[in-house]
Structure 1
Amino acid sequence: MSVLINVDAQVINAGVAGNTSTDLLARIERDVISLNPDLVIVMVGTNDMLNSKKMASYKTYASNLSEIVRKLKQNSAQVILMAPPPVDSVFLFERHDRKLFHEIPNVKLDSVRQIITRIAKKEQVGYIDIYQKFLNLNLPQHNQDLFIMNPQNSGYRDGVHPTALGYHFIAENVFQFLQKNKLFEKGDKVLCFGDSITFGSKVKGSGTAEGETYPAYLQQLIEKYLNHEK
C-alpha cells in the first residue's frame, strides 16, 4: 500500500534556509531540473527583501524570478509562483538592523507580491497569493497569533517562519489551487522550490516532505485526494 501511495503522489522539498532568488537560480539545474518534476511551486523573496546580509533590489529580484520561470518552462515543467507571507517586524528587527530598511518590511513584501503577479501574468503560469491569505486572517498579530512563530506559540522570537499550523494553512491553499485548476494527477512529481519557509525551519521534518513542513502537508492532502478518487 505504501508503494502505491508513493506512486500516487511524490512531493519533493527543495527548500534551503537562507536562500534568495539568486541562490535558487544558481542551484536550479542540480536541485530541480535534474529531477524532471511535472510541477514546480516557487516561493522566494523573503530573504531578498528582509535579510539584511542578502538584500537585493526589486530589479534584481524580478530578473532572477523571470529567469527561474523561463528555465522551468524550457524543461516542460508546469510552474506556480507563490507570494511569501507577511512578517512580524518587531521580532524581525531583533535580528536585522532597522536602519538598513528604507521601507517597512511588509511594504517590501507587498511590492514583491506585485512583481510576482506581473511575472505570473506575463509568463502565463499559476499564482497563489499566500501574502493575501495571511492578511485575510489579520496575520501576523504580534505575539498572539498561532500561524507565525512567536514566544507564545513556539518559544521563538521569530516573526518570520510559520508554525506547523501556518505551514498546514499554506499547504491547504496550495492544494485547493491545484485541485481547482486540475494541476496534478496520479504519478506526478511535485517539487516545492524555495527558502526556509519551504524548507520548514524549526518544525518537524525540516527539509523533507515529512512531518510538519508545507510540502509534507501537501503530500498528505494529495495522497488523501488521489486515494479517495480510486
Structure 2
Amino acid sequence: MRLPQHTKLLFIGDSITDAGRDPSGEPTPWTNDIGLGRGYVNLVNALLHISTPESKIRILNQGISGNTIRDLSQRWQEDVLDHKPDWLSIKIGINDVWRQFDQPHRKETHVSPEEFAATYRQLLDQTRPQLQGLVLISPYFIEPNRDDPMRALMDRYGAIAHKIAQEYDAVFVDAQAAMDRLTQHTHPAEIAWDRIHPSSVGHMAIAQAFVDAIS
C-alpha cells in the first residue's frame, strides 16, 4: 500500500464521485460512512479500512454532480487546495464529453479536448508540488462498441488523462478498462441504465481498480 498512516486522501469529480455524499464531504456521527456517498469513494474507504485498518486514512469526497473540468477549475481553491490533501484523486471527463451529445446545440457547455487538457494541466501545475501522491481516473462510457461516436470521443478524453498522468507522475486508474471487462459478460443496461451512472457492481469495479492501482 502506497498510502502512509494518517494520509488525507481527497476525491474530486462529477456525479460518479458525488454519489449522494454529505455536504461535509466525509463521514459524520449521524451519517457514518454514507457521508462519503453511495459510490466508489465509499467502497474505497471500506476496502482500505479492511486491508489496512491500522492506517487510519482520512477520506474526503468533493464530487459534485454534473461537473466538467471547467467546473473543477472554478472551485479548485476551496474544494481542493484549502483542504491541503496528502493524496488527491481526480475523476473527470464524462460530462465534458456527454454535453456534446445530450446538448449538441448548447456550444457554451462543450469542453473541447484542447480545453480539457489545458485546464487539467493548469490545475495540476498548481497542486502537484504539494502532494505526496496523485491518482487520475479515466472517464468511461459503458458501451462495448468502440465505434460508437460517444465511446470513441470518451476514449480520446481518456487517452488525454492517461498522458497527463504520465507527465505528472500520477497513478492512472483505467475505469474504462474496468467497465469493458464487465461488458464482456454483462449487458451495459445491467451495469448502468444510461451507460454512465453505474450500479453497485460498476462502482465496485472502479473502487477495486483504484485500490489495486495504489497497492
Range class of TM-score, shorter chain: 0.5 to 0.7
What residue is the counterpart of 1:226 in the other structure?
A: none
Residues 125-164 of structure 1 mapped to structure 2, 5 A cutoff:
125-138=170-183, 141-143=187-189, 145=190, 147-148=191-192, 150=193, 158-164=194-200
Note the C-alpha offset of 1:142: 4.2
Partner of 1:100: none
2:157 to 112, 126, 131: 112
CA contact (8 A) 1:86 1:135 kept: no
CA distance in 2, matches of 1:16, 1:174: 19
Shift of 1:68: 1.8
The runs of 4+ residues in structure 1 deviating greater than 4 Å are 4-7
Which runs of 5 or more residues in structure 1 are unaligned?
Answer: 90-102, 151-157, 180-230
Distance 1:34 1:77 in 2: 16
Q: 1:45 is matched with which residue?
A: 93
Match of residue 75 from structure 1: 130
Q: Which has the higher contact order (CA 8 A, sep 6+)?
A: 1
Instruction: Report the secondary structure of 1:11's partner residue.
Output: strand
Q: Structure 2 residue aligned with 1:28, among 76, 87, 95?
A: 76
Matches of 2:135 and 2:71 in 1, distance apart?
18
Determine if the alignment matches structure 1 residue 178 to structure 2 residue 210.
no
Q: Which amino acid aligns with 2:134?
A: V
Asked whether 1:169 is paired with 2:201, we answer no
Instruction: Supply the distance in 2 between the matched residues of 1:137 and 1:7 (Cα, whole angstroms).
Output: 31
The CA RMSD over aligned residues, in Å, is: 2.5
User: In structure 2, how many angstroms separate the alpha carbons of the residues matched to 1:107 and 1:172?
Assistant: 25
Offset, 1:77: 4.5
- Number of residue pairs aligned between Structure 1 and Structure 2: 154
1:210 aligned partner = none
Q: Distance in 1 between matches of 2:159 and 2:97?
A: 13
In the alignment, what sits opposite 2:13? none
Say whether the 8 Å CA contact 2:171–2:214 is kept in structure 1.
no
What amino acid is the match of 1:169?
A: A
Indicate the residue corresponding to 2:23 in structure 1: none
1:85 to 140, 159, 164: 140
Q: Deviations over 1:59-107 (max 9, x none)?
A: 0000011112222213234211110221359xxxxxxxxxxxxx71111
Shift of 1:111: 0.1
Maintained 8 Å contact 2:142/2:180: no
1:137–1:164: structure 2 CA closer, same or farther, 3 Å change rule? closer
Once the two structures are TM-superposed, the CA of residue 120 in structure 1 deviates from its matched residue by 1.2
Give, in whole Å, the separation in 2 of the partners of 1:118 and 1:6.
34
